[in-house]
Amino acid sequence: MPNMPRYHRLPFLRDPEALFFQILDEVPDMAIWLDADGRIVYANAKACRCLGYTREELLGGGIALIVPSFSEDDYPDFFEDLRRRKSACFELDHHTKAGGSFPAEVRVSHVTLEGLELACALVMDISRRRKAEDQTLDLHTASMLREAKLRALIQEAQGGAVRVEDLEALLQG
């Protein structure tokens, strides 16, 4: 096999299916596959850890197990829309077995494998992103408030004297 590219000779490529699932278990996002009925047919190790379920507990469960706001009655319409659009990206709160929840970004694709239609989703916990957005919004709001107070003081100063204490309070935040 001297003409065969070097990567084809790597021993782990002899079982591409095992390699595929091993890689999928190592990705940094949750991978969850659902069938056309909204039943979970695959969940990677990250999904199991983040959601607090064993793989066996997730497999066969409905979408409402992890996204209670997503009614199983709504799933057929969602799946039909996904079938037409091929992919979608949206945010949904996901719930854990322990009763907690976290915001998640979901990127999902419609895939047909050996005649079986699937919604293959990569799910990312965006709790940190949301916290940073909230902090940025808080800073922006505080800045806007200080600016409004400064404008009020400037207007007041145009009509006469401004107290030093008011300026100090404004500058201290």
DSSP conformation letters of 11-51: GGGG-HHHHHHHHHHHSSSEEEEEETTSBEEEE-HHHHHHH
Q: DSSP alpha helices (H): ranges in 30-126?
A: 45-51, 55-58, 75-85
Per-residue pLDDT tens digits of the chain, which is 173 residues long: 456 555 556 666 677 788 888 888 888 899 999 999 999 999 999 999 999 999 999 999 999 999 998 888 899 999 999 999 999 999 999 999 999 999 999 999 999 999 999 999 999 998 876 776 666 655 656 667 777 776 666 666 666 666 666 656 666 65
Cα–Cα distance between 59 and 33 in angstroms, integer? 10
What is the side-by-side strand order in the sheet with 40-43?
40-43, 30-35, 116-125, 101-113, 87-95
Over its C-alpha atoms, the chain yields an Rg (Å, rounded) of 26
Cα–Cα distance between 19 and 25 in angstroms, integer? 10
- Calculate the alpha carbon distances from 18 to 13, 15, 35, 62 in Å: 9, 6, 21, 26
Give the H/E segment covering residue 118: strand 116-125
CA 70 to chain centre: 15
**Predicted pLDDT at 22:** 85
Task: Tell me if 153 sits within 8 A of 167, measured CB to CB.
Answer: yes
